[in-house]
Structure 1
């Protein structure tokens, strides 16, 4: 049977009006005939097609009161509908480097291009999702499909297995409160869209340690998830996620993206396009190791980077820090502790002639000549006003005071009213006074995981000190912190210890063997990482949920299959209960002799391609449908009503 989109069903109904001109007697499309007549602008065919409202809505555009038929896009849809070209193992469309809308194999002029404006790459995080030729074993969804199919992918999903973890252990959860911490298991792109309405513009800081881009597979690529993408696929994968992340980020919030040297400049250009270059905050270096000898070009690249963006403007205090200062308490200013600050300007007396004067201490009469290269920051005519308000002090006024220059007096109550101080871009490196050299390297993160679990539980975790510093300069207590590449839950652990709310999203199964157990240990008061520094004694809670799998369950089964018999058994179940890709012709699949001659891995990939990736999870909008409601426990049903609607079910 042929699995059609709603749009293709409408197209076929129109073409059937022409008898057997465009359709065979058994209902098959004569694609070449249709395409040839469209190329010739066949009047009867085009009038019939445009009379259909769905086709008209999808493939026309109003320009200067004229209806324009986007013919090329419509023809593309016909070509794309073919079952993966004439092969089970090829894509109908490619994406990435093009020139004049032709790929680099056809031209010497190369540009980076995303030819389909609605391109979406859901991309599972497992290594099994990777295809050697294109980087991920799934189709790109683009404007050749009806928008209804695109939007369905991003509808909120049903949440199941809801549990609350607190100091008393694990409990079934039927309610979700706005100040609850949240952990979601499932595809992060789909999960982000599921929480988009609830958390829109409410997340103060996003930290993500994305899969790094490598030009070639290297020994350091020991991540449990997929981190070897083709460049174009990697860019699309991140583009989709950054676009929805931007919608979650508060106006004065910030997003911090960890990235390696090879991928940083590609990601910078991509992030500029998503957030705009004017919202680029800065590039922060981070030391990852203390040198290596066997390296390309004999240069040990010992740093990776954090790219920082915001939705705010340059005037917003997107980052800031509290500074520990020394204050004096004196009898002449009772109840008003004060500190000293520089009273000179970087400009010369030629540049500031009104500040070219000898400053005289009104109390003692001692004279302080101006430095010709650094004029006073206070003009002569405003000196009396500053002094009368206590804004200027002299070292000869106090026995305990050292120094030979007048100073600007700043009162503590004035500091308390100001915003946080600015942050230098080397704040992740300049830690000598507080931490041993290199303590924010990858080794420390690995050691922290080793102290909690076995050494092989998770590789290349970021250290808690790194997240502590980022969270400290970008948030205040009770702000929401999001990490949708949750990994070993470093971000969430630090957020909890620093009294921030958090959201974590992770697809990989180690969420239940590493991430959740780690957070349980944090609740119990574990003393690793930053615990002693922040005087952490335990407490807190979080809610855990999973996206309710639909086709995702079949996908897991296919990935775990080890024999052809297992694949055949899964296929039988798929025909009964799975939503199949609209391009799939099952008769061709079952009867094509080439299929049985494919290797086991290729047969597995082919079955994965049959699954409709729009239907990996159940949509929350269908939760009251009988065939969906029967699959959900009463407690999970109540939790979904609470999470999405803010109320209990009736």
Structure 2
């Protein structure tokens, strides 16, 4: 962030005006104008040293093209629902090419980019960026900004992007995404508890990572995100009455509430079956102790007449009566049909990072072929957040192919027809020998180390490699 004050900026601009008065050559004037533009266009946001990658220079004279490796095509008999795609090559090349065919067609993007920890996890322009590199953060921001700008062009109008990250760059990434995606299109920062502890912690154990969530257009959020229909405990609904066929089973809740939102209008007497006046908090008379009824007089009258309210003897209440209302499974407390659900929450605690190693080891017969993948179940959870069950899902930091496996498994689980596009380089033959083999085995089935067979998830796959042609 820049710490330049408005007053200081204005002083510098006034000084540049004086300099311009004494300049006559166009080169010097152009330089001064460039400085003026830098001072006037950036009011708030990230400031970093922009870097040019080798691939940017290559694309000035060459055109990237996709070439299918046909011997790696997987076509399953009876599968007429199209192909999934695995793209080998630099992901910036892939994104540029996808811009020609998939602009505004991608429904969901998930990426797990380098976290830029300084521990040789980030390679920029064929060189490892470590913690001693003075341009470590600006190189990472340059790297990410180009790819996110290209990815935004691929997102459909009701599209969403999920980005995994940790503490090293989460704050810079949030500001970068605010600039590229629009601050107003930020949905949430999902907190993922990836482990239960850390014995080597310095003071306080860090057991979480983050997943930033942005949509292309926040006005379409209700069209994008599904509800959690498992958000209620079915076992609570253990009572029935004469309305069961229409309303379903129910459970009881107390009608009185102790609340800071006190109102005299909600602090009134309800007549018990024996004529006793019943006030909130078990009182027998009016008092302003902070307790009120949840419903108005009119609603209580309606609820009693329609079987939504019961007044029962109670030895625990001073006035001898408990006022309880019924919460039905199939209707709300006004009798309207409802489907019990709630928005998904921005905390994931049900899947651990250790599961990722087991996921990939199972497919490769116990061998550790890749160390830094995400758990399949984590990506499946994100897919379940979305309403669209035939979404086109893109991962341009695909690594070992976790997102592809998650799409296939979630399709099998809920009958969806999602398709994936995975982009990864072939450093150390990862695309050919890990990503492709993993997807092939998930699709066709495989044997585990103990000899047990895992049935495949039939699907069609095409494998493309990025080549170059002269312009």
**TM-score normalised over the length of structure 1:** 0.52
TM alignment of 1:148-547, pairs within 5 A: 157-162=65-70, 164-167=73-76, 179-196=82-99, 198-214=101-117, 216-217=118-119, 228=129, 230-294=136-200, 297-313=202-218, 316-317=221-222, 318-319=224-225, 320-323=227-230, 324-326=232-234, 327=237, 330-340=241-251, 348=259, 351-359=262-270, 369-371=279-281, 373-386=290-303, 392-394=308-310, 404-412=322-330, 420-426=341-347, 428-429=348-349, 431=350, 439-441=351-353, 443-453=354-364, 455-499=367-411, 500-508=418-426, 509-525=429-445, 538-547=456-465
- 1:257 is displaced (CA, Å) by 0.9
Q: Distance in 1 between matches of 2:99 and 2:82?
A: 16
- Residues 406-464 of structure 1: CA deviation (Å, up to 9, x unaligned): 224344267985595122222x12x3xxxxxxx512x3211221222253411111112
CA pair 271-361 structure 1, distance change in 2 beyond 3 A: farther
CA separation in 1, counterparts of 2:85 and 2:115?
26
Contact 1:210 1:258 in 2 (8 A): yes
Asked if structure 2 preserves the Cα contact closer than 8 Å seen for 1:203 and 1:482, the reply is yes
* 1:25-67 Cα distance to aligned partner (Å, 9 max, x none): xxxxxxxxxxxxxx8448xxx9xxxxxxxxxxxxxxxxxxxxx
The match for 2:16 is none
Q: Is the 8 A contact 1:464 1:490 kept in 2?
A: yes
Asked if the contact 2:266–2:297 (Cα under 8 Å) also holds between the matched residues in 1, the reply is: yes
Deviation at 1:373, TM superposition (A): 3.8
Q: Deviations over 1:199-256 (max 9, x none)?
A: 4444333211101112x336x889xx98737221211111111122223334444221
Conservation of the 8 A alpha-carbon contact between 1:181 and 1:503: yes
Cα distance between partner residues in 2 of 1:246 and 1:471: 19
Structure 1 residue 471: Cα displacement: 1.8
Whole-Å separation in 2 of the counterparts to 1:237 and 1:276: 19
Deviations 1:139-160 (A, max 9, x none): 679xxxxxxx77x98x883442
Q: State how far apart, in whole Å, the 2-side matches of 1:378 and 1:40 are.
A: 79
Cα distance in 1 for partners of 2:97, 2:81 equals 15
- Matched length: 399
Q: Is the 8 A contact 1:387 1:393 kept in 2?
A: yes
Distance in 2 between residues matched to 1:115 and 1:516, nearest whole Å:
37
Counterpart of 1:113 in 2: which secondary structure? coil
Secondary structure, aligned partner of 1:334: helix
Q: Contact (CA 8 Å) 2:83, 2:461: kept in 1 or not?
A: yes
State the distance in 1 between where 2:103 and 2:291 align. Answer: 49
Shift of 1:341: 7.3
Q: Distance in 2 between matches of 1:358 and 1:526?
A: 70
Give the CA deviation at 1:339: 3.8
Q: CA deviation at 1:510?
A: 1.6
Match of 1:113 in 2: 47
Instruction: Name stretches of at least 5 consecutive residues in structure 1 with no aligned partner.
Output: 1-38, 47-68, 77-97, 103-110, 122-136, 142-148, 172-176, 398-402, 432-438, 529-535, 552-578, 580-614, 616-650
User: For residues 112 and 178 of structure 1, do their structure 2 counterparts lie closer, same or farther at Cα, with a shift above 3 Å needed?
Assistant: same
CA deviation digits over 1:629-650, x for unaligned, max 9? Answer: xxxxxxxxxxxxxxxxxxxxxx
Q: Is contact 1:349–1:355 with CA below 8 Å preserved after alignment? A: no
Whole-Å separation in 2 of the counterparts to 1:455 and 1:388: 68
Higher strand residue share = 2
Instruction: Indicate how the Cα distance of structure 1 residues 420 and 183 shifts in structure 2: closer, same or farther if over 3 A, else same.
Output: farther
Which sections of structure 2, spanning at least 5 residues, go unmatched? 1-22, 40-44, 131-135, 282-288, 314-320, 412-417, 449-453
- Asked if structure 1 preserves the Cα contact closer than 8 Å seen for 2:110 and 2:395, the reply is yes
User: What TM-score results when the alignment is normalised by the length of structure 2?
Assistant: 0.69
